[in-house]
Structure 1
Amino acid sequence: MATAKVSAPASGLRHVRAKHTKNFTILLNQLLQRPGSAVTVGVAGYLLSLPEGTPVSVERLARHFAEGTTRIRRALNELEAEGYLARELVRAADGTVRTCYVVYHRPQAAATDAHVVPAPRTRRPPAKARAPEFPAPSAPPAPAPEPEGEAASERAPAVLVGLRDRDPRLYLSEREVRELAPAVDTWLLRGATPAQITRTLTAGLPQPLTHRPARLLAFRLREFLPPPLPAADPPPVLPAPPPPLRTCTGCHEVMLRSATQTRCRACRGEPWPGGQALRD
Protein backbone atom coordinates (compact mmCIF):
# COMPACT_ATOMS: atom_id res chain seq x y z
CA MET A 1 0.00 0.00 0.00
CA ALA A 2 1.40 3.42 -1.00
CA THR A 3 2.14 5.86 1.81
CA ALA A 4 1.62 9.56 1.06
CA LYS A 5 4.06 12.18 2.29
CA VAL A 6 3.01 15.82 2.14
CA SER A 7 5.59 18.56 1.77
CA ALA A 8 4.41 22.05 2.72
CA PRO A 9 6.43 24.91 1.19
CA ALA A 10 5.72 28.45 2.23
CA SER A 11 4.14 29.28 -1.16
CA GLY A 12 3.82 28.01 -4.68
CA LEU A 13 3.38 24.39 -5.75
CA ARG A 14 2.87 21.66 -3.18
CA HIS A 15 3.53 17.91 -3.71
CA VAL A 16 1.63 15.00 -2.22
CA ARG A 17 4.20 12.28 -2.90
CA ALA A 18 3.63 8.52 -2.95
CA LYS A 19 6.00 5.57 -3.29
CA HIS A 20 5.09 3.46 -6.32
CA THR A 21 5.84 -0.25 -6.39
CA LYS A 22 4.20 -1.28 -9.71
CA ASN A 23 2.58 0.13 -12.87
CA PHE A 24 4.73 3.23 -13.08
CA THR A 25 7.20 4.78 -15.56
CA ILE A 26 10.34 6.78 -14.77
CA LEU A 27 10.61 9.94 -16.90
CA LEU A 28 13.37 12.51 -17.15
CA ASN A 29 12.68 16.01 -15.90
CA GLN A 30 14.41 17.16 -19.09
CA LEU A 31 11.47 15.71 -21.02
CA LEU A 32 8.68 16.65 -18.62
CA GLN A 33 9.88 20.24 -18.24
CA ARG A 34 10.65 20.90 -21.91
CA PRO A 35 9.11 24.14 -23.17
CA GLY A 36 6.70 24.01 -26.07
CA SER A 37 3.72 21.84 -26.83
CA ALA A 38 2.11 19.83 -24.05
CA VAL A 39 0.99 17.34 -26.71
CA THR A 40 4.63 16.47 -27.38
CA VAL A 41 5.27 15.72 -23.70
CA GLY A 42 2.07 13.69 -23.46
CA VAL A 43 2.85 11.61 -26.54
CA ALA A 44 6.39 10.98 -25.29
CA GLY A 45 5.18 9.88 -21.85
CA TYR A 46 2.56 7.60 -23.40
CA LEU A 47 5.08 5.94 -25.73
CA LEU A 48 7.57 5.43 -22.91
CA SER A 49 4.86 3.73 -20.83
CA LEU A 50 3.92 1.18 -23.50
CA PRO A 51 5.47 -2.31 -23.43
CA GLU A 52 7.73 -3.39 -26.26
CA GLY A 53 5.95 -4.87 -29.24
CA THR A 54 2.87 -2.63 -28.91
CA PRO A 55 1.63 -1.58 -32.38
CA VAL A 56 2.15 2.17 -32.84
CA SER A 57 1.01 4.45 -35.64
CA VAL A 58 -0.23 8.01 -36.08
CA GLU A 59 -3.78 6.74 -36.45
CA ARG A 60 -3.61 4.66 -33.25
CA LEU A 61 -2.24 7.62 -31.30
CA ALA A 62 -4.96 9.88 -32.70
CA ARG A 63 -7.60 7.39 -31.49
CA HIS A 64 -6.06 7.39 -28.01
CA PHE A 65 -5.64 11.16 -27.62
CA ALA A 66 -8.16 13.91 -28.28
CA GLU A 67 -5.80 15.61 -30.75
CA GLY A 68 -5.97 14.85 -34.46
CA THR A 69 -3.36 13.31 -36.73
CA THR A 70 -1.82 16.70 -37.63
CA ARG A 71 -0.85 17.51 -34.02
CA ILE A 72 0.24 13.91 -33.40
CA ARG A 73 2.57 14.03 -36.42
CA ARG A 74 3.97 17.37 -35.27
CA ALA A 75 4.66 15.93 -31.80
CA LEU A 76 6.41 12.88 -33.27
CA ASN A 77 8.54 15.10 -35.48
CA GLU A 78 9.59 17.21 -32.47
CA LEU A 79 10.48 14.10 -30.46
CA GLU A 80 12.49 12.75 -33.38
CA ALA A 81 14.35 16.06 -33.76
CA GLU A 82 15.23 16.09 -30.05
CA GLY A 83 16.50 12.51 -30.02
CA TYR A 84 13.67 10.82 -28.12
CA LEU A 85 12.28 8.94 -31.13
CA ALA A 86 13.47 7.25 -34.30
CA ARG A 87 11.42 5.71 -37.10
CA GLU A 88 12.90 2.90 -39.15
CA LEU A 89 11.48 1.30 -42.28
CA VAL A 90 11.73 -2.49 -42.11
CA ARG A 91 10.58 -5.12 -44.58
CA ALA A 92 8.53 -7.99 -43.16
CA ALA A 93 8.79 -11.58 -44.33
CA ASP A 94 5.81 -11.09 -46.68
CA GLY A 95 7.61 -8.26 -48.49
CA THR A 96 5.56 -5.38 -47.06
CA VAL A 97 7.37 -2.30 -45.77
CA ARG A 98 6.43 -1.18 -42.26
CA THR A 99 7.50 1.54 -39.82
CA CYS A 100 9.21 0.56 -36.56
CA TYR A 101 9.09 3.18 -33.78
CA VAL A 102 12.18 3.27 -31.52
CA VAL A 103 11.66 5.35 -28.37
CA TYR A 104 14.66 6.44 -26.27
CA HIS A 105 14.36 6.91 -22.49
CA ARG A 106 17.34 9.26 -22.70
CA PRO A 107 17.74 11.58 -25.72
CA GLN A 108 20.50 10.79 -28.18
CA ALA A 109 20.91 7.31 -26.68
CA ALA A 110 22.62 4.60 -28.67
CA ALA A 111 20.41 2.42 -30.78
CA THR A 112 21.30 -0.61 -28.65
CA ASP A 113 19.75 1.06 -25.58
CA ALA A 114 16.32 0.86 -27.16
CA HIS A 115 16.27 -2.95 -27.14
CA VAL A 116 14.49 -2.93 -30.49
CA VAL A 117 15.84 -5.14 -33.23
CA PRO A 118 14.59 -4.27 -36.74
CA ALA A 119 12.96 -7.06 -38.67
CA PRO A 120 15.39 -8.84 -41.01
CA ARG A 121 15.33 -7.73 -44.61
CA THR A 122 14.52 -11.02 -46.23
CA ARG A 123 13.43 -11.58 -49.78
CA ARG A 124 9.91 -12.71 -50.39
CA PRO A 125 9.72 -16.53 -50.63
CA PRO A 126 8.79 -17.33 -54.23
CA ALA A 127 6.55 -20.26 -53.30
CA LYS A 128 4.43 -18.47 -50.67
CA ALA A 129 4.53 -14.81 -51.58
CA ARG A 130 2.21 -13.10 -53.94
CA ALA A 131 4.18 -12.94 -57.16
CA PRO A 132 4.45 -9.55 -58.86
CA GLU A 133 2.72 -8.95 -62.13
CA PHE A 134 6.08 -8.79 -63.92
CA PRO A 135 9.61 -9.80 -62.88
CA ALA A 136 12.21 -7.10 -62.36
CA PRO A 137 14.86 -6.95 -65.11
CA SER A 138 18.43 -7.86 -64.23
CA ALA A 139 19.93 -4.91 -66.13
CA PRO A 140 18.56 -1.55 -67.29
CA PRO A 141 17.00 -2.23 -70.70
CA ALA A 142 17.07 0.05 -73.71
CA PRO A 143 13.99 2.26 -74.02
CA ALA A 144 11.26 0.79 -76.15
CA PRO A 145 9.60 2.79 -78.94
CA GLU A 146 6.36 4.48 -78.03
CA PRO A 147 3.29 2.58 -79.27
CA GLU A 148 0.96 4.16 -81.77
CA GLY A 149 -2.28 5.68 -80.56
CA GLU A 150 -2.82 7.57 -77.29
CA ALA A 151 0.40 8.89 -75.76
CA ALA A 152 1.51 7.11 -72.59
CA SER A 153 2.16 10.39 -70.74
CA GLU A 154 -1.55 11.21 -70.99
CA ARG A 155 -2.61 7.90 -69.45
CA ALA A 156 -0.10 7.76 -66.57
CA PRO A 157 -1.76 10.45 -64.37
CA ALA A 158 -5.15 8.78 -64.87
CA VAL A 159 -3.72 5.47 -63.63
CA LEU A 160 -2.26 7.11 -60.51
CA VAL A 161 -5.37 9.15 -59.71
CA GLY A 162 -7.53 6.04 -60.16
CA LEU A 163 -5.68 4.18 -57.39
CA ARG A 164 -7.84 5.94 -54.80
CA ASP A 165 -10.88 4.08 -56.21
CA ARG A 166 -9.20 0.74 -55.35
CA ASP A 167 -7.88 1.89 -51.93
CA PRO A 168 -8.89 5.29 -50.45
CA ARG A 169 -5.53 5.47 -48.63
CA LEU A 170 -3.74 5.88 -51.99
CA TYR A 171 -4.84 9.52 -52.31
CA LEU A 172 -1.95 11.28 -54.05
CA SER A 173 -1.24 14.98 -54.29
CA GLU A 174 -0.68 16.77 -57.59
CA ARG A 175 3.07 16.89 -56.97
CA GLU A 176 3.22 13.15 -56.17
CA VAL A 177 1.30 12.30 -59.35
CA ARG A 178 3.69 14.44 -61.38
CA GLU A 179 6.74 12.73 -59.83
CA LEU A 180 5.41 9.16 -60.27
CA ALA A 181 3.99 9.61 -63.79
CA PRO A 182 7.32 8.98 -65.65
CA ALA A 183 7.66 5.57 -63.96
CA VAL A 184 4.10 4.65 -64.98
CA ASP A 185 4.95 5.82 -68.52
CA THR A 186 7.73 3.24 -68.65
CA TRP A 187 5.31 0.46 -67.65
CA LEU A 188 2.83 1.52 -70.33
CA LEU A 189 5.54 1.69 -72.99
CA ARG A 190 6.56 -1.87 -72.09
CA GLY A 191 3.11 -3.26 -72.76
CA ALA A 192 1.54 -3.20 -69.27
CA THR A 193 -2.15 -2.28 -69.17
CA PRO A 194 -3.58 0.19 -66.64
CA ALA A 195 -5.40 -2.69 -64.92
CA GLN A 196 -2.15 -4.66 -64.52
CA ILE A 197 -0.37 -1.61 -63.08
CA THR A 198 -3.24 -0.99 -60.65
CA ARG A 199 -3.21 -4.60 -59.41
CA THR A 200 0.56 -4.53 -58.86
CA LEU A 201 0.48 -1.24 -56.94
CA THR A 202 -2.49 -2.12 -54.69
CA ALA A 203 -1.94 -5.82 -53.90
CA GLY A 204 -0.90 -6.72 -50.34
CA LEU A 205 -0.60 -3.20 -48.93
CA PRO A 206 0.46 -2.99 -45.24
CA GLN A 207 -2.17 -2.37 -42.61
CA PRO A 208 -2.14 0.41 -41.65
CA LEU A 209 -0.25 2.83 -43.88
CA THR A 210 1.75 5.01 -41.50
CA HIS A 211 3.27 7.37 -44.05
CA ARG A 212 2.52 8.90 -47.41
CA PRO A 213 1.88 6.12 -49.98
CA ALA A 214 4.01 7.78 -52.68
CA ARG A 215 7.23 6.17 -51.39
CA LEU A 216 5.66 2.69 -51.40
CA LEU A 217 4.29 3.20 -54.92
CA ALA A 218 7.67 4.44 -56.17
CA PHE A 219 9.34 1.35 -54.67
CA ARG A 220 6.92 -1.03 -56.42
CA LEU A 221 7.15 0.80 -59.74
CA ARG A 222 10.93 0.50 -59.56
CA GLU A 223 11.28 -3.07 -58.22
CA PHE A 224 8.50 -4.74 -60.26
CA LEU A 225 9.31 -3.00 -63.56
CA PRO A 226 8.43 -5.34 -66.48
CA PRO A 227 11.05 -6.22 -69.09
CA PRO A 228 10.98 -4.38 -72.41
CA LEU A 229 8.91 -5.74 -75.25
CA PRO A 230 10.84 -8.02 -77.64
CA ALA A 231 11.66 -6.58 -81.04
CA ALA A 232 9.13 -7.51 -83.70
CA ASP A 233 10.33 -9.98 -86.34
CA PRO A 234 10.44 -8.59 -89.88
CA PRO A 235 7.74 -9.95 -92.20
CA PRO A 236 8.85 -12.94 -94.29
CA VAL A 237 9.84 -12.30 -97.90
CA LEU A 238 7.52 -14.33 -100.12
CA PRO A 239 8.62 -15.42 -103.59
CA ALA A 240 7.02 -13.62 -106.50
CA PRO A 241 4.08 -15.54 -108.00
CA PRO A 242 4.72 -17.16 -111.40
CA PRO A 243 3.30 -15.52 -114.52
CA PRO A 244 -0.19 -16.66 -115.45
CA LEU A 245 -0.61 -19.69 -117.73
CA ARG A 246 -2.52 -18.80 -120.89
CA THR A 247 -3.36 -20.18 -124.35
CA CYS A 248 -1.74 -18.61 -127.39
CA THR A 249 -4.24 -16.35 -129.11
CA GLY A 250 -2.63 -17.07 -132.51
CA CYS A 251 -2.62 -20.87 -132.87
CA HIS A 252 -4.82 -21.69 -129.88
CA GLU A 253 -2.66 -24.78 -129.31
CA VAL A 254 0.33 -23.69 -127.23
CA MET A 255 0.18 -22.94 -123.49
CA LEU A 256 2.65 -20.29 -122.35
CA ARG A 257 3.44 -18.44 -119.12
CA SER A 258 3.80 -14.70 -119.57
CA ALA A 259 2.58 -11.59 -117.89
CA THR A 260 2.73 -9.56 -121.13
CA GLN A 261 2.81 -11.86 -124.18
CA THR A 262 -0.38 -13.44 -125.53
CA ARG A 263 1.14 -15.25 -128.58
CA CYS A 264 3.67 -18.03 -128.57
CA ARG A 265 7.12 -17.74 -130.12
CA ALA A 266 6.11 -19.65 -133.25
CA CYS A 267 3.28 -17.25 -133.89
CA ARG A 268 5.64 -14.40 -133.26
CA GLY A 269 8.22 -15.93 -135.63
CA GLU A 270 10.81 -16.61 -132.90
CA PRO A 271 12.75 -19.91 -132.36
CA TRP A 272 11.48 -22.29 -129.62
CA PRO A 273 13.79 -22.70 -126.61
CA GLY A 274 13.39 -25.99 -124.78
CA GLY A 275 10.64 -26.25 -122.21
CA GLN A 276 9.13 -22.80 -122.76
CA ALA A 277 5.96 -23.81 -124.55
CA LEU A 278 3.50 -26.66 -124.06
CA ARG A 279 1.35 -28.19 -126.78
CA ASP A 280 -1.90 -30.01 -126.09
Structure 2
Amino acid sequence: MDTQHNTALTRALAEVPGPLPTSGVIHITLPHTDRFTVVGNHLAQHPDLSCTAVGIAVRIQSLPQGAKVGIKALAARCKEGEKRIAAALSELEAHGYLRRVRERLSSGRVITRTVFCNQPAALLHPRRPAAEAPAPAPMQVPAPVPEPTPVPMQEPAPVPVRIPTAAPPAPEVPVAPPAPSAPLFVPRVPPPTAPKAPRRPLPQPSDLTPELDRAATALLSDLHRHASQFFLSEDDVRRLVPGVAAWLERAARPDSIRRALTDDPPQPLKHPAKLLTHRLTELLPPAPPGVDALAALDRPRPRFTVTPFQTCEDCDRAFRSPDPGHCRDCREARAAYAQAVA
Protein backbone atom coordinates (compact mmCIF):
# COMPACT_ATOMS: atom_id res chain seq x y z
CA MET A 1 0.00 0.00 0.00
CA ASP A 2 1.09 3.57 -0.64
CA THR A 3 2.08 5.85 2.23
CA GLN A 4 -0.90 7.87 3.47
CA HIS A 5 -0.50 11.62 3.17
CA ASN A 6 -2.14 14.19 5.44
CA THR A 7 -4.06 16.22 2.89
CA ALA A 8 -5.04 18.85 5.45
CA LEU A 9 -1.38 19.44 6.35
CA THR A 10 -0.39 19.60 2.69
CA ARG A 11 -3.14 22.15 1.99
CA ALA A 12 -2.09 24.21 5.02
CA LEU A 13 1.56 24.21 3.92
CA ALA A 14 0.51 25.38 0.46
CA GLU A 15 -1.24 28.39 1.99
CA VAL A 16 1.85 29.51 3.97
CA PRO A 17 2.95 32.84 2.42
CA GLY A 18 6.43 33.05 0.94
CA PRO A 19 8.91 30.26 0.27
CA LEU A 20 9.19 27.55 2.89
CA PRO A 21 12.50 27.42 4.82
CA THR A 22 14.82 24.54 4.04
CA SER A 23 15.52 23.91 7.74
CA GLY A 24 14.06 24.83 11.08
CA VAL A 25 10.46 25.14 12.18
CA ILE A 26 7.61 25.98 9.80
CA HIS A 27 4.76 27.95 11.40
CA ILE A 28 1.18 27.28 10.35
CA THR A 29 -0.72 30.17 11.96
CA LEU A 30 -4.48 29.75 12.18
CA PRO A 31 -6.55 32.53 13.79
CA HIS A 32 -8.21 31.72 17.14
CA THR A 33 -11.88 32.53 17.51
CA ASP A 34 -12.41 31.42 21.12
CA ARG A 35 -10.58 29.97 24.13
CA PHE A 36 -7.19 31.60 23.58
CA THR A 37 -4.71 33.59 25.67
CA VAL A 38 -2.32 36.29 24.42
CA VAL A 39 1.24 35.66 25.61
CA GLY A 40 4.04 38.16 25.02
CA ASN A 41 7.39 37.15 23.56
CA HIS A 42 9.07 38.71 26.60
CA LEU A 43 7.68 35.74 28.53
CA ALA A 44 7.73 33.03 25.87
CA GLN A 45 11.36 33.82 24.94
CA HIS A 46 12.62 34.97 28.35
CA PRO A 47 16.36 34.22 28.47
CA ASP A 48 16.51 33.65 32.24
CA LEU A 49 13.31 31.66 32.87
CA SER A 50 13.19 27.90 32.62
CA CYS A 51 10.68 26.21 30.35
CA THR A 52 8.82 24.99 33.43
CA ALA A 53 8.47 28.56 34.71
CA VAL A 54 7.27 29.77 31.29
CA GLY A 55 4.72 26.95 31.11
CA ILE A 56 3.46 27.64 34.65
CA ALA A 57 3.17 31.34 33.78
CA VAL A 58 1.11 30.56 30.68
CA ARG A 59 -1.10 28.19 32.72
CA ILE A 60 -1.70 30.86 35.38
CA GLN A 61 -2.36 33.53 32.73
CA SER A 62 -5.00 31.32 31.09
CA LEU A 63 -6.95 30.75 34.33
CA PRO A 64 -9.93 32.98 35.24
CA GLN A 65 -9.97 35.54 38.05
CA GLY A 66 -10.12 33.95 41.49
CA ALA A 67 -8.70 30.59 40.43
CA LYS A 68 -6.46 28.80 42.95
CA VAL A 69 -2.81 29.06 41.87
CA GLY A 70 -1.05 27.74 44.97
CA ILE A 71 1.56 25.01 44.79
CA LYS A 72 -0.87 22.20 45.65
CA ALA A 73 -3.58 23.57 43.31
CA LEU A 74 -1.14 23.76 40.38
CA ALA A 75 0.26 20.31 41.19
CA ALA A 76 -3.28 18.95 40.90
CA ARG A 77 -3.63 20.55 37.43
CA CYS A 78 -0.13 19.85 36.05
CA LYS A 79 2.10 16.80 35.77
CA GLU A 80 5.03 18.51 37.50
CA GLY A 81 5.61 17.85 41.16
CA GLU A 82 5.31 20.34 43.98
CA LYS A 83 9.08 21.00 44.14
CA ARG A 84 9.34 21.93 40.45
CA ILE A 85 6.23 24.10 40.68
CA ALA A 86 7.57 25.86 43.79
CA ALA A 87 10.88 26.53 42.00
CA ALA A 88 9.02 27.86 38.94
CA LEU A 89 6.90 30.20 41.08
CA SER A 90 10.07 31.50 42.75
CA GLU A 91 11.55 32.23 39.31
CA LEU A 92 8.42 34.13 38.25
CA GLU A 93 8.43 36.07 41.51
CA ALA A 94 12.11 36.96 41.06
CA HIS A 95 11.45 38.40 37.58
CA GLY A 96 8.35 40.37 38.58
CA TYR A 97 5.64 38.24 36.93
CA LEU A 98 4.26 36.95 40.23
CA ARG A 99 3.75 38.58 43.61
CA ARG A 100 2.49 36.99 46.82
CA VAL A 101 1.21 39.48 49.41
CA ARG A 102 0.17 38.63 52.96
CA GLU A 103 -2.93 40.55 54.07
CA ARG A 104 -4.75 40.60 57.38
CA LEU A 105 -8.56 40.52 57.20
CA SER A 106 -10.89 42.37 59.54
CA SER A 107 -11.47 39.10 61.38
CA GLY A 108 -7.76 38.89 62.20
CA ARG A 109 -7.02 35.97 59.86
CA VAL A 110 -3.96 36.37 57.62
CA ILE A 111 -4.35 35.32 53.98
CA THR A 112 -1.96 35.29 51.02
CA ARG A 113 -3.05 37.07 47.83
CA THR A 114 -1.38 36.07 44.57
CA VAL A 115 -1.08 38.72 41.84
CA PHE A 116 0.09 37.81 38.33
CA CYS A 117 1.10 40.51 35.81
CA ASN A 118 1.52 39.65 32.14
CA GLN A 119 3.79 42.70 31.54
CA PRO A 120 5.79 43.59 34.67
CA ALA A 121 8.04 45.98 32.75
CA ALA A 122 5.01 48.14 31.85
CA LEU A 123 4.11 48.47 35.55
CA LEU A 124 7.65 49.40 36.53
CA HIS A 125 7.71 52.17 33.88
CA PRO A 126 4.09 53.40 33.56
CA ARG A 127 3.12 55.98 30.96
CA ARG A 128 2.73 59.49 32.34
CA PRO A 129 -0.25 61.61 31.22
CA ALA A 130 0.59 64.59 29.02
CA ALA A 131 0.64 67.98 30.77
CA GLU A 132 -2.51 69.98 30.25
CA ALA A 133 -2.00 73.13 28.16
CA PRO A 134 -2.84 76.42 29.93
CA ALA A 135 -6.08 78.11 28.92
CA PRO A 136 -5.52 81.02 26.46
CA ALA A 137 -5.77 84.50 27.97
CA PRO A 138 -8.91 86.45 26.90
CA MET A 139 -8.36 89.08 24.18
CA GLN A 140 -8.83 92.70 25.26
CA VAL A 141 -10.67 94.80 22.70
CA PRO A 142 -9.89 98.58 22.84
CA ALA A 143 -12.77 100.91 23.55
CA PRO A 144 -14.30 102.65 20.45
CA VAL A 145 -13.18 106.22 19.72
CA PRO A 146 -16.10 108.75 19.97
CA GLU A 147 -16.83 110.84 16.85
CA PRO A 148 -16.41 114.68 17.16
CA THR A 149 -19.63 116.67 17.47
CA PRO A 150 -19.99 119.27 14.57
CA VAL A 151 -20.35 122.93 15.65
CA PRO A 152 -22.54 125.08 13.27
CA MET A 153 -21.17 128.24 11.62
CA GLN A 154 -17.74 127.60 13.10
CA GLU A 155 -14.62 125.79 12.20
CA PRO A 156 -14.64 122.38 13.63
CA ALA A 157 -12.50 122.38 16.70
CA PRO A 158 -9.86 119.70 16.85
CA VAL A 159 -11.00 116.83 19.00
CA PRO A 160 -8.33 114.85 20.79
CA VAL A 161 -8.21 111.29 19.61
CA ARG A 162 -7.82 108.53 22.18
CA ILE A 163 -5.12 106.18 21.11
CA PRO A 164 -5.69 102.78 22.67
CA THR A 165 -2.75 101.55 24.64
CA ALA A 166 -1.68 97.98 24.40
CA ALA A 167 -2.86 95.89 27.30
CA PRO A 168 -0.10 94.46 29.47
CA PRO A 169 0.55 90.78 28.81
CA ALA A 170 -1.19 88.41 31.14
CA PRO A 171 1.16 86.86 33.68
CA GLU A 172 2.11 83.31 32.91
CA VAL A 173 0.67 80.85 35.36
CA PRO A 174 3.18 78.09 36.08
CA VAL A 175 1.80 74.67 35.34
CA ALA A 176 2.71 72.12 37.98
CA PRO A 177 4.22 68.97 36.51
CA PRO A 178 2.07 65.88 36.88
CA ALA A 179 2.77 63.90 40.00
CA PRO A 180 4.61 60.68 39.19
CA SER A 181 2.30 57.76 39.63
CA ALA A 182 3.52 55.09 42.01
CA PRO A 183 4.21 51.74 40.36
CA LEU A 184 1.39 49.28 40.85
CA PHE A 185 3.65 46.24 40.91
CA VAL A 186 7.01 46.24 42.68
CA PRO A 187 9.08 43.05 42.58
CA ARG A 188 10.13 41.63 45.92
CA VAL A 189 13.54 40.62 44.58
CA PRO A 190 15.89 43.57 43.83
CA PRO A 191 17.22 43.82 40.27
CA PRO A 192 20.71 42.50 39.48
CA THR A 193 22.02 46.08 39.20
CA ALA A 194 20.96 46.98 42.77
CA PRO A 195 23.85 47.58 45.18
CA LYS A 196 24.53 44.54 47.31
CA ALA A 197 25.20 44.68 51.02
CA PRO A 198 28.83 44.05 51.94
CA ARG A 199 29.58 40.53 53.05
CA ARG A 200 30.42 39.88 56.67
CA PRO A 201 34.07 39.03 57.23
CA LEU A 202 35.18 35.58 58.26
CA PRO A 203 35.17 35.28 62.08
CA GLN A 204 38.57 35.57 63.73
CA PRO A 205 39.69 34.16 67.08
CA SER A 206 40.93 36.48 69.77
CA ASP A 207 44.27 34.63 69.81
CA LEU A 208 45.23 32.14 67.09
CA THR A 209 47.41 29.90 69.19
CA PRO A 210 49.43 27.05 67.62
CA GLU A 211 47.07 24.54 69.25
CA LEU A 212 44.00 26.16 67.66
CA ASP A 213 45.79 26.40 64.31
CA ARG A 214 46.67 22.69 64.30
CA ALA A 215 43.18 21.62 65.40
CA ALA A 216 41.43 23.80 62.78
CA THR A 217 43.79 22.61 60.01
CA ALA A 218 43.22 18.97 60.91
CA LEU A 219 39.43 19.43 60.96
CA LEU A 220 39.34 21.11 57.53
CA SER A 221 41.76 18.65 55.94
CA ASP A 222 39.68 15.73 57.21
CA LEU A 223 36.30 16.99 55.94
CA HIS A 224 36.44 15.00 52.68
CA ARG A 225 36.53 11.74 54.63
CA HIS A 226 33.10 12.52 56.09
CA ALA A 227 31.63 14.30 53.01
CA SER A 228 33.36 13.68 49.68
CA GLN A 229 32.11 16.98 48.20
CA PHE A 230 34.27 19.00 50.61
CA PHE A 231 37.71 18.25 49.15
CA LEU A 232 39.61 21.50 49.80
CA SER A 233 42.87 22.82 48.44
CA GLU A 234 45.72 23.91 50.68
CA ASP A 235 44.98 27.59 50.03
CA ASP A 236 41.32 27.10 50.98
CA VAL A 237 42.35 25.35 54.20
CA ARG A 238 44.73 28.15 55.21
CA ARG A 239 42.08 30.78 54.43
CA LEU A 240 39.35 29.01 56.47
CA VAL A 241 41.52 28.11 59.48
CA PRO A 242 40.75 31.36 61.43
CA GLY A 243 36.99 30.77 61.09
CA VAL A 244 37.21 27.21 62.45
CA ALA A 245 39.55 28.43 65.19
CA ALA A 246 36.93 31.00 66.23
CA TRP A 247 34.40 28.17 66.59
CA LEU A 248 36.84 26.06 68.62
CA GLU A 249 37.61 29.06 70.82
CA ARG A 250 33.89 29.30 71.61
CA ALA A 251 33.93 25.73 73.00
CA ALA A 252 32.32 24.12 69.93
CA ARG A 253 33.03 20.40 69.65
CA PRO A 254 34.76 19.19 66.45
CA ASP A 255 31.93 16.80 65.55
CA SER A 256 29.39 19.63 65.97
CA ILE A 257 31.48 21.90 63.72
CA ARG A 258 31.81 19.15 61.12
CA ARG A 259 28.06 18.50 61.16
CA ALA A 260 27.19 22.20 60.86
CA LEU A 261 29.55 22.71 57.92
CA THR A 262 28.72 19.61 55.85
CA ASP A 263 25.05 18.93 56.64
CA ASP A 264 22.66 18.99 53.63
CA PRO A 265 24.85 20.74 51.00
CA PRO A 266 23.32 21.89 47.68
CA GLN A 267 23.46 19.50 44.76
CA PRO A 268 25.65 19.82 42.78
CA LEU A 269 28.14 21.60 45.02
CA LYS A 270 30.33 23.77 42.76
CA HIS A 271 32.26 25.87 45.30
CA PRO A 272 32.71 24.05 48.64
CA ALA A 273 35.06 26.71 50.02
CA LYS A 274 32.47 29.46 49.45
CA LEU A 275 29.79 27.38 51.20
CA LEU A 276 32.10 26.78 54.17
CA THR A 277 32.90 30.51 54.37
CA HIS A 278 29.19 31.34 54.42
CA ARG A 279 28.36 28.77 57.09
CA LEU A 280 31.34 29.65 59.28
CA THR A 281 30.20 33.28 59.21
CA GLU A 282 26.42 32.95 59.50
CA LEU A 283 26.23 29.97 61.91
CA LEU A 284 28.87 31.19 64.36
CA PRO A 285 27.80 30.06 67.87
CA PRO A 286 27.66 32.58 70.72
CA ALA A 287 30.52 33.00 73.11
CA PRO A 288 30.28 30.76 76.19
CA PRO A 289 28.82 32.46 79.27
CA GLY A 290 31.16 33.89 81.88
CA VAL A 291 31.51 32.95 85.53
CA ASP A 292 29.08 35.68 86.63
CA ALA A 293 26.37 34.49 84.25
CA LEU A 294 26.73 30.89 85.44
CA ALA A 295 26.61 32.04 89.07
CA ALA A 296 23.37 33.88 88.33
CA LEU A 297 21.91 30.62 86.97
CA ASP A 298 22.90 28.71 90.12
CA ARG A 299 21.54 31.40 92.45
CA PRO A 300 18.43 30.13 94.34
CA ARG A 301 15.22 31.70 93.20
CA PRO A 302 13.00 33.53 95.72
CA ARG A 303 10.19 31.39 97.08
CA PHE A 304 6.60 32.54 97.29
CA THR A 305 4.34 31.48 100.17
CA VAL A 306 1.08 29.94 98.97
CA THR A 307 -1.87 30.13 101.36
CA PRO A 308 -3.45 26.65 101.63
CA PHE A 309 -7.12 25.79 101.21
CA GLN A 310 -9.28 25.14 104.30
CA THR A 311 -12.77 23.65 104.61
CA CYS A 312 -15.40 25.67 106.47
CA GLU A 313 -16.61 23.86 109.58
CA ASP A 314 -20.20 25.01 109.02
CA CYS A 315 -20.90 24.99 105.25
CA ASP A 316 -18.00 22.83 103.99
CA ARG A 317 -16.98 25.61 101.56
CA ALA A 318 -13.32 25.79 100.52
CA PHE A 319 -11.47 28.99 101.34
CA ARG A 320 -7.85 30.09 101.65
CA SER A 321 -6.55 30.64 105.18
CA PRO A 322 -3.41 29.71 107.12
CA ASP A 323 -5.56 28.25 109.92
CA PRO A 324 -8.72 26.11 109.84
CA GLY A 325 -12.01 27.65 110.89
CA HIS A 326 -15.00 29.29 109.16
CA CYS A 327 -15.34 31.06 105.82
CA ARG A 328 -16.10 34.77 105.57
CA ASP A 329 -19.86 34.35 105.11
CA CYS A 330 -20.13 32.06 108.10
CA ARG A 331 -18.07 34.40 110.25
CA GLU A 332 -20.28 37.34 109.30
CA ALA A 333 -23.42 35.29 109.97
CA ARG A 334 -22.08 34.25 113.39
CA ALA A 335 -21.19 37.85 114.24
CA ALA A 336 -24.65 39.08 113.20
CA TYR A 337 -26.36 36.34 115.27
CA ALA A 338 -24.26 37.14 118.32
CA GLN A 339 -25.10 40.84 117.98
CA ALA A 340 -28.81 40.10 117.64
CA VAL A 341 -28.80 37.84 120.69
CA ALA A 342 -26.97 40.42 122.77
TM tier relative to shorter chain? 0.3 to 0.5
Between Structure 1 and Structure 2, the one with more strand by share is 1
How high is the TM-score relative to the length of structure 2? 0.31
Could you say which structure has the larger radius of gyration? 2
